[in-house]
Amino acid sequence: MKTIRLLVIVLAISMHAIAQDKDIIHIWPGDVPGETAPKHPAKATPDTSNNVVRLTDVTDPTLQVFRPAKPNGAAVIVCPGGGYKILAINHEGYEIAKWLNTLGFTAFVLQYRVPDKEQGALQDAQRAIRLVKSRAAEYKINADKVGILGFSAGGSLSARISTLYDADSYKKADAADNQSAKPAFSVLIYPAYLDKGENRSLTPELKVNANTPPMFLFATADDPYGNSALVMAGALRDAKVPVELHFLAKGGHGYGLRKGNVAGETWPSLAAKWLAPYGR
């Protein structure tokens, strides 16, 4: 048992080390809006169960860049989940970025502020999209093809940025903030917290309308947060926004794209097919 636990820790540290070799962008050049704590590196929690690296105490939000061997000119910002408490940074971040690279997408893993900083997370997501668009030439991407992908709470954040992209949430930091924070497309995998309205209807904060970007949603019936995908899909349909929803019977929550879970083995190929036109 000790040997297995040691192996899990070593694998988790290795994944974190691999990510550190990638380009890292500190998204706020000066003070972080609304942040009272000084900037410092995120902290990994002692809990590495299920081979998941969990980061917390994020005060200096970053984007970690993963470049594909054969870029298709499009980019995806990846938002790991973790209940707005932690970031499941490897299995909902780094591993997803590497998968996106195989499809030709340049991936940016967002370390947004946690714990319990939902407004700060929205600011970080807005800033991240604007920064990536402003540096499109550097990363050989089309600024009109920058999308977002999120899991669980990261799916909540992706839904929020997809509907609140024009919210005036912070004072402009530099010229990058002249860019629109609207993603070109959104992918929500087992999203959470989207059904906080009356009788589990759509969360009132999420103002879905005809300008909301096209969205791909995936969830399962045995996921306690599964209703989130259903209400979001319904709102998008009613607003006549292009939406694709896949809802399986089983799979649970928090599986990423790892083998051994039917949902985790199913959604990547479906999402890849849906994403393909954005890489042309």
This prediction has a pTM of 0.92
- Rg (Cα) of the chain, in Å, rounded? 18
| pLDDT at 5 (0 to 100) | 45
| pLDDT at 2 (0 to 100) | 44
Which of 119, 192, 184, 113 has the alpha carbon at shortest distance from 150? 192
**Cβ burial 51-78 (10 Å sphere, 16+ → b, else e):** ebbbbeebbbbbbbbbebeebbbbbbbb
Averages of pLDDT over runs of 10 residues in the chain (280 residues) are 44 45 87 94 94 97 98 99 98 98 99 98 99 98 99 99 97 97 99 97 97 99 98 99 99 97 98 96
| pLDDT at 22 (0 to 100) | 55
Counting Cα atoms < 13 Å in the Cβ hemisphere of 139 gives: 29
Domain that holds residue 165: 2-279
| pLDDT at 280 (0 to 100) | 78
Cα gap 280→276, rounded to integer Å: 7
260: enclosing H helix or E strand: none
| pLDDT at 138 (0 to 100) | 97
Q: State how many domains the chain has.
A: 1
Residue in the block written with tokens 């299920």: 50
Residue in the block written with tokens 């004072």: 171
Kindly report the CATH number assigned to the domain that includes residue 227.
Answer: 3.40.50.1820
Q: Is 199 left (phi over 0), alpha (psi -120 to 50) or beta?
A: left
Distance linking the first and last C-alpha atoms of the chain: 48
